[in-house]
Amino acid sequence: MPSHGFIRYLLLLCMICADFASPRELYAQNTNEEYRMAWVTRLEWPNADQTKAKTYIDNCMSSLAANNFNAVLFQVRGQCDVHYPSPDEPWATTYQWKNPGWNPLQYALEAAHKNGLEFHAYINTHVMSRITPPAETTPQHLYNLHGPNAKGDDCWLIHDRDGNPVKQPSSGYLWMSPGHPEASLWTRRQILYVVNNYTVDGVHLDRVRTPTSYNDTYSHDPVTVRRFYGEGNPDGVGWGDFMRRQITDDLRRIYGQIAMTRPKCKMSATPLGALLTDETSHHQGYGNAYRYCYQDGYRWVKEGCLDFVVPQIYYTGVNFQNLLADWLERTDAHRPIVAGSATDSATVPIEELLWEYRNMRSQGASGWSVYSYSSIGTYLDAIKQQFAAPAPVPSMPWKTSPTCGILTGTVRDAEGNPLTDACVVLADDTLKNASGTAPYNHLTGADGFYAILNVPAGTTHTLTFSKWGKASVVEKGVIVRVGKVTNIDAQFTNVVPEPTEDPEEIIIETYDSAGVLNTNYSEELTTSSQYFGRTVAKSTAPGLIGSGARYIGTGGQGASGVFRPRLTAAGNYNIYVTLSSGSNNVSPGVVWDVVTDKTSLTSGTVDLSYTNAAVVNKWYKLAGPVSLPRGSYTCVRLTNTNPNSSNVKGRMSMDAVKFEPVPKAKVGEWVEYGF
């Protein structure tokens, strides 16, 4: 968690501005419940000298308690190395990767409880390493198992848009792919190990994201890409929504698995504060973690994937009041919002820091956390004046007086092996799919585990388990008790189901009827000077409803348009293309290629010119029948080879591609004749 400089607007007269009034405001004014927290990072307390480390911990806990803090976020896992004995991960570099002869986590936990503080084990989730570990550690560091030297599916690093692993640090770290189920399972196991072996009051997750990137889209590792085009993307959403779902689903599974063994243990996370900036947000300007880091923090709160959230509201050039208002309004008061401030290495004026605390209360948030402990010493006297008396932590009725339950389970194949991306649907799920038209498609992790949160009690439910190529399993009459976790496992048989879906005809136009660029169409450029434009010319071939088409003109040799359908069923397909009669459409010798999972199935050339009567305003057959798999594994790429491309009578124009299923041969009826 980095520290940042501050540029605040000290709008003291706006502390109780009516624009931000909410039900939370009344709550804040009428109760003294609130979190008063401090982050204590692995960059502060660890020391190879056991005595010095213990002294720091003792002083930290007693000081926080004496100044009326009530909880500590204490970091025990950095980048796949830890400050406690672990069966899976090595000791941190502080101890030269070796057992220091004591258990810092246990010591800090006992010190916190001795001083009346809640202890939340602070854990980084998606960073693999900050420095290169030794070639051999015990246990072996994940860097050596699934880092830069691992190949193919065994490499868990994020990959760039070209499919190359990112082997150089980004934001100071090597990062793990959120879309790789094995990597996600590894992290979940480490979190559950802490929860099940220590009486921590909570787990607090950081780095729950990819690194910020404005020029790339993570992570295009082979496993994530296959899942995006296949069963891992059951709603067929775009890349951003798909990546955000990976992180949210991971949090849901972690929450559900914690509830199975330690239901009172709290789970929180600290996303970037500037989450989503749009025309409706109070905050305008810097930051958009929703888009660039795939953090869907508002959703984490609204869907109950966390017990509380601590957004990092301490960036250069941002307005604390506006960002906090966005968090409060966009989470609909579902779970506590604890505002995260920072001292910026003790350079922030104390008046500003205390104003943020008071503004937090005036807006009705549920507490305040300061980053970080080592820099708040000079502020403590002033902070204690604000924390005039001890305060209880916020109540959490969904834990103490729940009205719902949780469903969990493991899905396996006929041989008992866990299945990744098996789909689990709760018929009356209040959580909906991407289009909002049907129940959410919950997916299993690499261990076959799923979790469905906030399931209504007092009624019976139906669960449907499905997996491509397997007969579905339906479990009816499922009963969930209030405040309990009901575990429903499922196992598929080896029976191959009869196809329930016939292949459908799919037409992909570059623009839809509203003039919006189709998400199933993309473009590939070979130089930075190439660009695609929009033309109003439109084919009149049957079945088209879009508006206009795409083209590339001057300097467009080598550029491609890519059409990628989401096929509802495997089958044989004929593939067609069409072109408008626009007189600038002149691109002879366009190369077309049908590709499935990076393998070319068939290719050829076509004259995409307005003079070609076979393709203008008609469906021209490129190939077929071609056997194609279900999902989005297949694409048709059209590449401009014209060295004389120009904006006048030299454009390659792309309008639409059609995938037409070839009917299956039917067995004739048996007719019986007498003799």
Q: Are strands 266-269 and 202-206 parallel, antiparallel or unpaired?
A: parallel
Q: How far is residue 117's CA from residue 72's CA, in Å, rounded to a whole number?
A: 7
For CATH 2.60.120.260, the residue range(s) in the chain are 506-661
Q: How far is residue 118's CA from residue 124's CA, in Å, rounded to a whole number?
A: 19
Span of 3-7, 166-170, 264-268, 398-402 with lowest mean pLDDT: 3-7
Length, in residues, of the chain: 675
Would you say 120 and 74 are in contact if contact means Cβ atoms under 8 Å apart? yes
pLDDT of residue 666: 53
pLDDT at 16 over 50: no
pLDDT at 242 over 90: yes
**Average predicted confidence (pLDDT) for the chain:** 92
Would you say 65 and 38 are in contact if contact means Cβ atoms under 8 Å apart? no
pLDDT of residue 499: 58
CA atoms within 13 A on the CB side of 263: 16
In tens, the pLDDT along 588-637 reads 999 999 999 889 999 999 999 999 999 999 999 999 999 999 899 999 99
Q: How far is residue 469's CA from residue 450's CA, in Å, rounded to a whole number?
A: 20
pLDDT at 290 over 90: yes
pLDDT-derived band at 663 (thresholds 50, 70, 90) equals confident
pLDDT at 455 over 80: yes
CB count within 10 Å of CB 176 equals 30
Whether CATH 1.10.760.10 fits 402-491: no
Domain 506-661 class in CATH: mainly beta
For CATH 2.60.40.10, the residue range(s) in the chain are 402-491
pLDDT at 9 over 50: no
pLDDT-derived band at 213 (thresholds 50, 70, 90) equals confident
DSSP conformation class of 14 = G
pLDDT of residue 287: 83
Give the best-scoring range by mean pLDDT among 200-204, 228-232, 280-284. Answer: 200-204
Would you say 572 and 662 are in contact if contact means Cβ atoms under 8 Å apart? yes
Helix (H, G, I), strand (E, B) or coil at 39: strand
Q: How far is residue 138's CA from residue 85's CA, in Å, rounded to a whole number?
A: 11
The predicted model gives 254-276 an average pLDDT of 98
Q: How far is residue 661's CA from residue 576's CA, in Å, rounded to a whole number?
A: 11
pLDDT-derived band at 559 (thresholds 50, 70, 90) equals very high
pLDDT of residue 469: 85
pLDDT of residue 20: 31
DSSP of 235-276: T---HHHHHHHHHHHHHHHHHHHHHHH-TT-EEEE--BS---
pLDDT of residue 214: 79
CB count within 10 Å of CB 675 equals 2
pLDDT of residue 673: 52
Both tokens of residue 297? 């923090």
pLDDT at 8 over 80: no
In tens, the pLDDT along 479-518 reads 999 999 999 999 999 887 765 567 899 999 999 999 999 9
Helix (H, G, I), strand (E, B) or coil at 661: strand
- Beta bridge mates, 521: 563
The predicted model gives 373-397 an average pLDDT of 96
Domain 12-399 class in CATH: alpha beta
pLDDT of residue 568: 87
Both tokens of residue 271? 């996303």
pLDDT-derived band at 125 (thresholds 50, 70, 90) equals very high
Both tokens of residue 488? 């429903």
pLDDT of residue 407: 98
The predicted model gives 264-275 an average pLDDT of 98
Amino acid at 344: D
State CA 606 to chain mean position distance: 40
For CATH 3.20.20.80, the residue range(s) in the chain are 12-399
pLDDT of residue 495: 81
The CA–CA distances, whole Å, from 573 to 114, 311, 570, 594, 628 equal: 69, 49, 9, 11, 7
pLDDT at 414 over 50: yes
Q: How far is residue 434's CA from residue 441's CA, in Å, rounded to a whole number?
A: 9
**Inter-helix orientation angle 222-229/181-197, to 10°:** 100
CB count within 10 Å of CB 379 equals 18
pLDDT of residue 670: 54
The predicted model gives 419-426 an average pLDDT of 98
In tens, the pLDDT along 544-554 reads 999 999 999 99
pLDDT of residue 1: 63
Q: How far is residue 415's CA from residue 22's CA, in Å, rounded to a whole number?
A: 54
pLDDT at 148 over 60: yes
